[in-house]
Amino acid sequence: MNTLEISGTLDADLHVFEDRPDLVRQPTERIRLDKEATSEAIDLFVCRTPDQLVSSCYLVVDLESRRLMVNQSYDNVGYWFPRARPKLTDDDFTLSSTPIPIEGPHVIIGGPIDSVWYHWLVSWCARFYIVRQLRPDLFEDPAVRFMVCTEARNQFRETALAVGIPEDRITWVTHDNDYLVQDAIVVTFPDQRYLYPEVVRGIAATLKANLAADIEPGRRRIFASRQSFTTPKRRVANWAAIQPVLEAFGFEVVELGQLSARDQIAMFSQAQFVLGVHGSDLANLIFCEPGAIALVIENERNLYHGLSASLDILSGIVGVDYHCMIAEEAIDPDADYSHFPTLHNRDVIIDPDGLRDRLIALGCQPVVAAV
């Protein structure tokens, strides 16, 4: 394939496809992840259309109109992923691409190049649910294949298969290459700045039905640990002081990233109490039964800027009783906190007496002698 030198404008996917005859759309609700939690009506869509170029970050370019659909990937993608191949300005893009041709009908799913479980569940994997709702015939047609990110194959393969697609109908693609999809099926990307209640509940129910249907209800108490990280990543800095509290209240200390998707879904479907520091692993709250209680450890900054809203709103969508507890941050005098990821990933210092009192106030009584 020859190198393509492409330039054009930025646009939203529904603006590009609104006049296409094979567009199917369905209204739904989405909630913005901030302190106001504003709700609005938008359309989900599926559109079958020729000649779409899929570039890094799974950005999609319609070659006929030379429009790049910025809302087919993460918001502000140029900032978070500066090595993305399309060069973006406020209104335009340029791209030098030598794409790999992809023949046959392909649903463009993509995946989280940041390997974040939360983003996989509510943005990328959620696309399977949208396709099944709007175009179930595509699941039934053995000629239709699904383009899925190789990172998902390495980490989230179990869930990709659990939506009901045989592995021989998945084309595993990489963020490092561009692809020219000659017969493309483009799907809404659920923007990570929002949560889509119908989609969240739908993908949660689908994965539970296929991976944990035989799990009996339980009353487990789960602490989502981040202690295995070797650098600051919202770990508990005073871990030795917190361990006795967790033991006294009967919490299982679990490194969720070391478990299979099936085991994580089964565990949370049996959870009565979930405790943990703000993080992607708590996306598993979508698998809890209604009435389960979540206590999320947050810092003041997350509350002030509304970053805590993601887990608060997520819990409300599935009927989990959400609470948060403010913790002090552990500050490294040698760290450069001008970079947001470094700032956001500070470890936390949890007051053990405060944690004990908060658990009791939520109805979580000790199972052994008081600490």
Q: What pLDDT digit, counting tens, does each position of 145-192 carry?
A: 999 999 888 889 999 999 999 999 999 999 899 999 999 999 999 999
In a domain, 200, yes or no: no
Does residue 371 sit within a domain? no
Report DSSP letters for 189-206, one per residue.
Answer: ---TTEE-HHHHHHHHHH
**What pLDDT, on the 0 to 100 scale, is given for residue 170?**
97
Tell me which of 140, 164, 194 is where a domain ends. 194
The answer as to whether 205 is a domain residue is no
Tens digit of each residue's pLDDT (9 = 90 or more) over 227-258:
999 999 999 999 999 999 999 999 999 999 99
- CB contact set of 26 (below 8 Å; sequence gap of 6+): 43, 44, 45, 133, 134
Q: Are residues 60 and 106 in the same domain?
A: yes
Q: Supply the pTM of this predicted model.
A: 0.95
Q: Which of 27-36, 261-270, 302-311 has the lowest mean pLDDT?
A: 302-311
Task: State the pLDDT confidence band at 138, using cuts at 50, 70 and 90.
Answer: very high
Looking only at the bridges linking them, the beta strands covering 293-298 and 321-326 are parallel
Domain count, the chain: 2
Would residue 370 count as lying in a domain? no
Query: Does any domain span residue 322?
Result: yes
* Whether residue 32 is found in the same domain as residue 152: yes
Stretch 193-216: mean pLDDT, rounded? 95
Q: Does residue 86 surpass a pLDDT of 80?
A: yes
Domain that holds residue 18: 4-194
Q: Are residues 44 and 179 in the same domain?
A: yes
- Dist CA 156 CA 163 (whole Å): 12
Does the pLDDT of residue 225 top 50, yes or no? Answer: yes
- Between CA 31 and CA 35, with CA 33 as vertex, the angle to 5 degrees is 105
Q: In CATH, what number is assigned to the domain containing residue 264?
A: 3.40.50
Mean pLDDT, range 280-309, rounded to an integer: 94
Please give the pLDDT value at position 78.
86
pLDDT band at 2 (very low <50, low <70, confident <90, very high): confident
pLDDT of 215 reads 87
Kindly state whether residues 93 and 168 are assigned to the same domain: yes
Q: What is the pLDDT of residues 295-321, one digit of tens each?
A: 999 999 998 888 899 999 999 999 999
Cα within 13 Å of Cα(66), Cβ side: 11
| CA 340 to chain CA centroid, nearest Å | 19
Average pLDDT over residues 318-329: 97
% of the chain with per-residue pLDDT over 90: 86
